[in-house]
Amino acid sequence: MFSLSKFLGKKLNKEWADESEDTPEEEFEKTDEVQEQVELDRRLKKFDRKLLRKRILIYVCIGFGVLGAIKSFAPAVTTHNYAEVEAMTFVQNYSKEYYHYPKTEDELASLKKFQLQNSWDMKYTELVEYANLNNVEIYKVSTSDTEKGINDYYCYGTLTTKEEKQPKAVSTVVYFKVSVAKDGSRYLVVEPVANAKVNVNAIVDEDKVEIYQFEGESASTTLEGSDKDEVTRTINLFLKTNNDDIKQARLLCTKNSVIDELDPNMKLELVNVSSATSDEETIYVYAEVSETYGTLYSSTRKYYVEIDKEKNKIKRLEVY
C-alpha cells in the first residue's frame, strides 16, 4: 500500500541532503579558508612566543641591574675565621684599657701580664680627670715577623678626655699601632701600646718571651765624651725638625720610609742617649725619647737609631 507520508518524507529528506552537500568548488574554497586560518593562528602564536621571550629578557636585565645597584650600595663584608676574630678583639680591648684613665688594679695587673715591658704606660697630664677610648677600628693588619708570629694592627679610635678647667669633655680621633705576638691561643704585646681585658692566655714562658725582645746592632767601638755629644746633637736636631716640619725631617734620613710610621701629631723630645757605638760605616744609638700628644698625654719610649756616618743621616729608626 502506497504511503503518501513516507513518500513526502523521503522527498523532503533528499532535498535537504542535496541542499546541505557542498559542491567540489565550494569544498575547496572552505579548505583554503581553514588552512589560511590555521596558518594565521600559527604565526600569531609564534609572534606571541617571540614577544614573551623579549619581555622575559628585558625583565632579567632589569633584575640584574637592580641587584648590581643594591650590591654597589651594600657595605663590603669581610669574613674572618675564629682565630682572626679573637686576635682583633684582643687588640681592640687591649687598646681601650691602655688609653683608659684612671686605671683599676685589675687593669694594671692585666697590663703587666700581656705586655713585654712593664714600663709601657700611658701618662696623662695632671689636668686630665679621666680618659676613655671608644669606637676602636682596625683598618690594616700586616705581618712584621712570620717566624715569630708577630702581626702589626693599625687602629684608630675616639679618645674622650675631661680636664679640670674644661666644662665639657673633648673627643679626638687617635691613630696607633699595636704589635702582637701570637703563640697558639696566647698573646703578648711586643711593642708599646697597651692593655687588654679578654679571656685569653698570656705568653709567660721565659724562653718564648726572650725571642720577642728587640735586638739592635752594636759595634766594638764605644763613643764617649765629645763623640757621644755629637751623636746627641744629631738626634736632637732630627727630633726638633720632625716636630716643626716633617718634610724637612725626611731630608735628614737616607730614605723617606724611615719615619713613615711616626705620628705627625706627636711631639718628640730626647730624654737621654743610653749608649752609642760605631764601626766604619754606621753609628748605633740606643736612646729614650718622650712622646707628647698635644696637651693630652705623654709617654717615654726606647728608640734605636742607626746613623750613616758618611752622609750623617738617619738610615734606620725603631721604637721598642
- The CATH number that applies at residue 92 is 3.10.450.540
Q: Distance (Å, rounded) from C-alpha 141 to C-alpha 147? A: 16
**Does residue 228 form part of some domain?**
yes
Q: Which of 83-97, 186-200, 207-221 has the lowest mean pLDDT?
A: 186-200
Per-residue pLDDT tens digits for 232-268: 999 999 999 999 998 899 999 999 888 876 777 889 9
- 149, 176, 210: which is the final residue of a domain? 210
Please say if the pLDDT value at position 288 is more than 90: yes
User: What pLDDT sits at residue 23?
Assistant: 54
Same structural domain, 102 and 200: yes
Same structural domain, 102 and 177: yes
Average pLDDT over residues 202-230: 89
**Does residue 124 form part of some domain?**
yes
Same structural domain, 88 and 181: yes
pLDDT band with cut points at 50, 70 and 90 for residue 283: very high
Same structural domain, 230 and 294: yes
Q: Distance (Å, rounded) from C-alpha 245 to C-alpha 74? A: 41
What is the span of the domain harbouring residue 57?
A: 4-73
**Does residue 252 form part of some domain?**
yes
**Does residue 46 form part of some domain?**
yes
DSSP string, 191-224: SS-----SS-EE---HHHHHTTS------SEEP-
Same structural domain, 95 and 201: yes
**Does residue 216 form part of some domain?**
no
- 210, 234, 251: which is the final residue of a domain? 210
Q: Distance (Å, rounded) from C-alpha 315 to C-alpha 311? A: 10
| CA-to-CA dists, residue 93 to 185, 193, 231, 241, angstroms | 16, 12, 39, 35
Q: Distance (Å, rounded) from C-alpha 154 to C-alpha 146? A: 17
Beta-sheet strands, E only, within the chain: 123-124, 128-145, 150-163, 170-183, 186-189, 201-202, 221-222, 266-278, 282-293, 297-308, 313-319
pTM of the model: 0.47
Q: Distance (Å, rounded) from C-alpha 272 to C-alpha 118? A: 20
Q: How many domains does the chain have?
A: 3
Average pLDDT over residues 270-277: 96
Same structural domain, 201 and 299: no
Highest mean pLDDT among 117-131, 213-227, 251-265: 213-227
- 150, 176, 210: which is the final residue of a domain? 210
Please say if the pLDDT value at position 274 is more than 90: yes
Same structural domain, 103 and 193: yes
Which of the two residues, 194 and 320, has the higher pLDDT score? 320
Same structural domain, 238 and 297: yes
